[in-house]
């Protein structure tokens, strides 16, 4: 049986300490902040990031350096037979395509998964991959399973402010000005490759209801699992744990008996939507792990 290593990036939200606990490798994503380079969860904490965000620092994300990727793989292949590498969605970054290109020099020993996940759903893919590896699946088989299941997830995100969407060019200044005037709370959606607009709410309360209703609709109709017996339910937030925990109670009331995992939203998403965002997500359990 092959010894398979699982590699991901910090877009998954898995911290370096959690990576050690889970037995996986997490590559920190680089950030450029006022022309300085920082690495998520290495020399850039959640607190530092939001402090710099509040100071209106010039923040941008970048892909992992090619040398860092191959050095990580080379080191792991000293102890492992194969690697499953799970980067963020190819629709949100070029890091997936770059990793696929680099893997071609590894004679099949590195399998790069393009399963369109980020944040808590990417995190679940990493945990699933680890469990599949422990069950004896090869790197190639794990890649095939994760890519087969790639559309079996949803994320809904309520944005508290339009400022960062405008700053990143995702909405026009005119749309941002009108939305701010009307005090709109956009709800965004990730189902597959990209971050898309889902709905516009007039209040936080209405936005929360929209997300819960959308998740309920997915459970009932998209996944045909109203009770969530074969579903994972996750939540994420940016910088406001108190609000996130209050929203978690609302979601728990709607989905009684389900375990809900709550984690900070990855900083690569946070820098585009700002503080005060709330997210609810789900992913379908992989059939091979239900056996």
Q: How far apart are CA 87 and CA 111, in angstroms?
A: 11
Give, as one character, the DSSP assignment of residue 65. P
The predicted pLDDT at position 201 comes to 84
Same domain as 120, residue 108:
yes
Q: How far apart are CA 160 and CA 146, in angstroms?
A: 32
Residues 6+ away with beta carbon under 8 Å from 267 = 10, 29, 31, 40, 44, 46, 49
Pairing assessment for the beta strands 25-27 and 4-9 based on DSSP bridges: parallel
Same domain as 109, residue 8:
yes
* pLDDT digit string, tens, across residues 74-128: 999 999 999 999 998 766 677 889 999 999 999 999 999 998 888 899 999 999 9
Domain end, chosen from 96, 127, 147, is at 147
Burial 259-276 (b: 16+ CB within 10 A, else e): eebbbbbbbbbbbbbbbb
User: Contact, 118 vs 143, CB < 8 A?
Assistant: no
Same domain as 70, residue 45:
no
Question: What's the pLDDT band for 266 if we cut at 50, 70, 90?
Answer: confident
Residue 177 has pLDDT above 50, yes or no: no
Same domain as 182, residue 224:
yes
The predicted pLDDT at position 86 comes to 96
* pLDDT digit string, tens, across residues 193-233: 667 778 888 888 999 999 999 999 999 999 999 999 999 99
Residue 58 has pLDDT above 80, yes or no: yes
The predicted pLDDT at position 162 comes to 61
Same domain as 136, residue 236:
no
Give me the domain span that covers residue 74.
2-27+63-147
Domain end, chosen from 147, 180, 203, is at 147
What is the domain count for the chain?
Answer: 3
The predicted pLDDT at position 174 comes to 45
The predicted pLDDT at position 138 comes to 97
The predicted pLDDT at position 182 comes to 46
Residue 257 has pLDDT above 50, yes or no: yes
Instruction: Report the CATH number at residue 16.
Output: 3.40.50.10440
The predicted pLDDT at position 237 comes to 93
Same domain as 196, residue 135:
no
Same domain as 170, residue 143:
no
Same domain as 204, residue 180:
yes
Same domain as 258, residue 133:
no
Same domain as 131, residue 10:
yes
Q: What is the mean pLDDT of the chain?
A: 88
Instruction: Report the CATH number at residue 196.
Output: 3.30.1180.10
Same domain as 41, residue 23:
no
**How much of the chain, in percent, has pLDDT values that exceed 90?**
65
Same domain as 139, residue 20:
yes
Domain end, chosen from 147, 174, 189, is at 147
Residues 6+ away with beta carbon under 8 Å from 155 = 118, 119, 120, 121, 189, 190, 191, 279, 280, 281
Burial 7-31 (b: 16+ CB within 10 A, else e): bbbbbbbbbeebbeebebbbbbbbb
DSSP string, 240-258: -HHHHHHHHHHHHHHSTT-
User: Contact, 235 vs 14, CB < 8 A?
Assistant: no
The tokens describing 150, both together, are: 């790639």
């Amino acid at each position: 049986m092959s010894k398979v290593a699982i590699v991901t990036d910090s877009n998954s939200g898995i911290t370096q300490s959690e990576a050690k606990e889970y037995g996986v490798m997490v590559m920190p994503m680089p950030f450029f902040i006022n022309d300085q380079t920082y690495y998520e969860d290495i020399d850039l904490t959640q607190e530092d990031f939001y402090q710099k965000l509040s100071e209106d620092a010039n923040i941008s994300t970048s892909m992992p350096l090619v040398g860092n990727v191959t050095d990580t793989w080379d080191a792991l292949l000293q102890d492992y037979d194969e690697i499953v590498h799970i980067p963020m969605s190819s629709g949100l970054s070029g890091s997936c395509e770059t990793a696929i290109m680099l893997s071609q020099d590894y004679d099949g020993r590195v399998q790069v998964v393009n399963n369109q996940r980020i944040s808590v759903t990417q995190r679940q893919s990493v945990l699933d991959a680890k469990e599949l590896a422990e069950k004896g699946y090869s790197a190639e088989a794990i890649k095939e399973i994760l890519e087969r299941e790639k559309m079996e997830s949803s994320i809904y995100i309520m944005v508290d402010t339009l400022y960062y969407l405008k700053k990143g060019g995702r909405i026009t200044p005119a749309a941002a000005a009108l939305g701010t005037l009307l005090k709109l709370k956009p709800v965004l959606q990730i189902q597959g490759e990209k971050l898309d607009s889902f709905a516009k709410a007039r209040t936080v309360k209405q936005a929360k209801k929209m997300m819960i209703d959308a998740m309920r609709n997915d459970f009932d109709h998209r996944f045909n699992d109203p009770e969530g017996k074969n579903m994972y339910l996750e939540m994420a937030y940016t910088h406001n744990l108190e609000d996130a925990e209050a929203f978690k109670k609302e979601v728990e009331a709607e989905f009684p008996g389900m375990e809900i995992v709550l984690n900070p939203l990855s900083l690569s998403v946070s820098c585009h939507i700002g503080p005060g965002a709330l997210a609810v997500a789900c992913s379908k359990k992989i059939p091979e792990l239900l056996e």
